[in-house]
Chains A and B, each alone.
Chain A
Amino acid sequence: MKTDKNMRPPKWADRLLAWYCGNAPIDDLHGDIEELFYADLKTMSPGKARLRYWQQVLSLIFSYAIKKRKARVAHHTYSHTSISFAMMRSYFTVGLRAMLRNKTYSAINITGLSIGLACCLLLILYTKDELSYDHFHVQGSNIYQLTCDRVETSGQSKKFAIAAMVQGPAFAREIPEIKSLVRTKSQPTIIKKGTEIFDDQVQWVDDGFFSVFSFPLLSGHASSVLRELHSVVITPDVAARYFGTEDPMGKSLDIQVDGEFETFVVSGIARPSPANSTIKFRILLPFRYLEEIHPDNGWHWVSFQTYFLLNPGADPAAIKSKMSKVYETQAKTEIDEMRSMGYGDRFVWGLQPFESMHLNTEYEGVPEASDPLYSYVLLGIALFILLIACINFINIAIAQSLSRSKEIGVRKVIGGQRIQLIGQFLGESFLLCLLSFVLAILLAQLALPMFNVVAEKQLSLTYLWDTNLVTGLCLLLLATSLVSGFYPAMVLSSLNPIKSLYNKVSFSAHYLSRSLVVIQFALATTLIIATLFMHEQFSFLTKKELGYNDRNLLEITIEKAIMDKQLTRRLKSEFSRVPGVEMVAPRNVGRFRRPVKAGGKEFPAVYEHVDEDYFSTLEIPVVAGRAFSKDYPADSISGAVVNQAFVNEVGWDDPIGKTIDYMDIPGWGDKKLTIVGVTKDYHFESLKEKIKPQVFTYESRLPLGVFLVRIKPDNIPSTLTALETTFRKDAPFDSFQYTFKDDSNREMYRAEARWKQIITLGSILTVFISGIGLFGLTALSTKRRTKEIGIRKMLGASSATIMSTISLDFIKLIFISFIISIPLVSYGLSLWLNNFAYRIDFNVQTYAFAALLSVAIAMISIGAQVAKAAIANPIESLNQD
């Protein structure tokens, strides 16, 4: 066999030659070299003959002879590949006619594509805005934000993008690479204008504010505008609010600082900060003022955003190590003191590029910081939708190819080449995409107001006008038309002209269009399942029993009462007398988590100072022992109430009368507390957090600044007004800040509510587009099967059998896609659900409901067509030709 094979010309050489020459006639040339090969075999070894054959093949490939022959085939008398205007016009006309002839299918394609493209447009806008945050500062690349990493002894760390008052100046003084610094502190306040009182927001900033950041000033000089202690810079809308049309420069504003009104003189007008700025301001006051009235040399109570402008080329890592040296020397006494008091927390100071902070959720204290995951997921959904629309296009184009087969046949017979046909069909899909794109812009413009609400942005389509984005959009358009048009173009152009002209095209892109439908519905069901579970989790979050009653419960924070025990008492009794108020219970403002020793164990517990009415006002049941009471004077000295989580943590059977050692309560010393009662656990934090061990103390000396007021469900507005009037008697100029507890609880799940909305919208769109696609596909396939259906009916099949035969075909596909989507969506959802300490479980009912829903959607999409085909009179369908 081996010799036999060697006695023949090398196969690969032949293949190469055949491939290179294509359909050019080279039989005679091929014959020549083969004859030479056999002649060679007589005089030399087969190996050498084969080598010579290869040489001959190559000489032919590079010869003028073949080049000429190939050129001659390519240039059929009636064809040439160069672009001619007449031909283009003909393509255009033919394409347009095809589009108009099949109005339904064109409408399906255009609807799908324009929705998909509109989603992409909106998401591009969104992403652009997210990425452009804080990038407008001219010196942006050299602005860094000071960060604070608080590492607890347990190794847990908490990261803040804020610092105390001293770090900024201390670091700037000692480290030469730091050119200048800006600290900012935003605060709600009250402004008096004549007799009128306004609530407003002020921002204390260092005088380098306008030279470090690029916020343009309309009046005033950047370097000096905030130098005066009593100067204020405002935006034009603030000026309009307080001064109307008058020129505000040099006018004065009475701003409340620490309960007293101080006069500040307008020294500059600044253009309002753009929407994509982390730093937002209305009224800017000199930070130095704040520093003078509240001097603070502490290093560890962080509350100010601190920004550094570094020298160009400075190394942040080097500065970081210098900062830690400065901290260790200058804060030494404070650190030692902290250690001696038993605090083991370590503080690490770092720098983060300011421009990157918006998309960094690691650090606390960046207003409006957002998770880049939003952008990814949103963009993903938009691309899903576009992909589904492209699949519709492919499926419909292929199923419809029969109607174009004659045209293709004729084109081929008179010399149209495949590449020209491909160009023609790609051109058609491009035109359709272009039309959809125009519609998409309109759709996006229409949907923008709603989108802005959901996304909490102020976007406008004009943002798209930038070279990169316009290029990007053109690429998107091209990509869409290629993805949707390429495969149909290949299939259509490959039709055999003879078969198509004799109506013998048997078309079987069955597998492809089936798999595409499966992909579509897998995407759609993924989103359906995600939506259902998200709704379930969300209603779980908002409806779960919290362990206390949050309805008709007001939370009023009274700043003055924080420092004033007398006021706390007086307000409590006054509030209690207001008609409509059922009960009042003050508590301290913060919730601190401190280590505690109990039953030989040491663990962190959340500590709360409460009033004797606290548990009954919140309706928190006491399960063992009793609540605090005025009747037991010892309660206010050494009594404590703990929650069940605390008892479980220690492992006590009978906690009443046991002692706990609370180490860190300020002014508490080393006093021991005795447990007098145990309450049921209640969710004082969001459901993302597990209920932590909690200790309540009842220290009647301590002032309490948060008032929890239980009110009657009727006449709420008048109750509120009465409460405010009562409050005003003591603090005529303070703002009356209250929230309904159930509102603020709901507010904790804002992000979740947003996700829910987005996914719901996404799934509605995907379902809609896949639905209309399926509709189109069924219409075409029942049309193709008209005859088959007619014959079945003639042979006695009932309409019902036929309907179920056809629908079962599709139901099978839906089922497969459902199976595919389950693991995907379950994985994604479990990632999301892991954010919650309290969450729903995956349950079969929801999956089943989702399955039912997708089948129902499929049935709605195909139902009418299938019924029409099944009911049709078989005589008519069989009489067709």
Chain B
Amino acid sequence: MKGYIGEFEELVLLTVAALGDDAYGVAIKEDIEKRSDRTISIGALHSTITRLEEKDFLTSWLGEPTEQRGGRSKRFFELTHKGKVALHHVKNLRDELWGLSKAKLALQK
């Protein structure tokens, strides 16, 4: 299944996009936790990030070391073109399905 991405992967990719220049491990973790109201471990997050890098959806670079992190540098992430295409792909699929939906998806107030 070429270009398939899972739900958590999609979340990570979108968060990286949302954070822009400030997308690094802790920021991504906190953003997802805040928005989705769930706790994720740093290990799980980085595993997913590593897989996304392997699939060539993300690239990364090391920032300058900062005092705040005991002199350790941050690794920043950015979407690749392929990553963007994959997100579009998912979104189109969703939109299509939403449009085709026969049942009323609107929630009652």
Contact = CB atoms under 8 A, between A and B. Distances in A.
Nearest to A39: B26
> For the side of the interface on B, what is the size category?
20 to 34
A30 B72 contact: yes
Contacts of B44: 59, 63
A107 interface: no
Interface string A37-60: 011000000000000000110111
B75 A28 contact: yes
A67 to B, nearest CB: 9
Contact of A61 (B26, B43, B62, B74): B43
Nearest to B46: A65
A36 B42 contact: yes
Interface in B42-58: 42-44, 46-47, 49-51, 54
A28 B25 contact: yes
B108 interface: no
B69 A65 contact: no
Q: Which of B66, B69, B73 has the most CB of A within 10 A?
A: B69
A254 to B, nearest CB: 99
Contacts of B29: 32, 36
Given A65-B46, A65-B50, A32 B24 contact: yes
Interface in A358-373: none
Contacts of B54: 68
Contacts of A68: 50, 54
A582 interface: no
Nearest to B69: A31
A63 B70 contact: no
Interface SS of chain A: helix
Contacts of B41: 55-56, 59
Contacts of A34: 69-70, 72
Contacts of A28: 24-25, 62, 72-75
A409 B35 CA distance: 53
B90 to A, nearest CB: 22
Given A29-B42, A59-B41, A63-B43, A35 B69 contact: yes
Nearest to B60: A28
A502 interface: no
B26 A35 contact: yes
B76 to A, nearest CB: 9
A610 B69 CA distance: 107
Contacts of B75: 28
A624 interface: no
A32 B62 contact: no
Contact of A31 (B47, B50, B70): B70
A56 B40 CA distance: 10
Interface in B71-86: 72-75
B101 interface: no
A32 B72 CA distance: 9
Nearest to B41: A59
Contacts of A32: 24-26, 29, 42, 46, 69, 74
A62 interface: yes
B68 interface: yes
Contacts of B74: 28, 31-32
A33 interface: yes
Nearest to A63: B43
Nearest to B68: A35
A56 B47 CA distance: 13
A64 B42 contact: no
Given A32-B42, A33-B42, A56-B41, A64 B47 contact: yes
9 contacts: A29-B46, A31-B72, A32-B24, A32-B25, A35-B68, A36-B29, A59-B44, A60-B46, A68-B54
Shortest beta-carbon contacts, A-B, top 3: A59-B43, A31-B72, A63-B43
